[in-house]
A and B are shown apart, each in its own frame.
Chain A
Amino acid sequence: ETGVTQTPRHLVMGMTNKKSLKCEQHLGHNAMYWYKQSAKKPLELMFVYSLEERVENNSVPSRFSPECPNSSHLFLHLHTLQPEDSALYLCASSQDIGPQPYGYTFGSGTRLTVV
Chain B
Amino acid sequence: RKEVEQDPGPFNVPEGATVAFNCTYSNSASQSFFWYRQDCRKEPKLLMSVYSSGNEDGRFTAQLNRASQYISLLIRDSKLSDSATYLCVVNMDSGAGSYQLTFGKGTKLSVIP
Which residues from chain A sit less than 8 Å from chain B, CB to CB?
A: 33, 40-43, 45, 48, 50, 55-56, 88, 90, 92, 97-109, 111
Contacts and interface: CB of A to CB of B under 8 A. Distances in A.
Interface of B: 4, 31-32, 34, 36, 41-46, 49, 87, 89, 91, 93-94, 96-106
Contacts of A90: 43-44
A103 B89 contact: yes
A42 B106 contact: yes
Contacts, number: 68
A106 B44 contact: yes
Contacts of A109: 42-43
Contacts of B105: 40-42
A83 B98 CA distance: 32
Nearest to A97: B98
Contacts of A102: 46, 49
B3 to A, nearest CB: 9
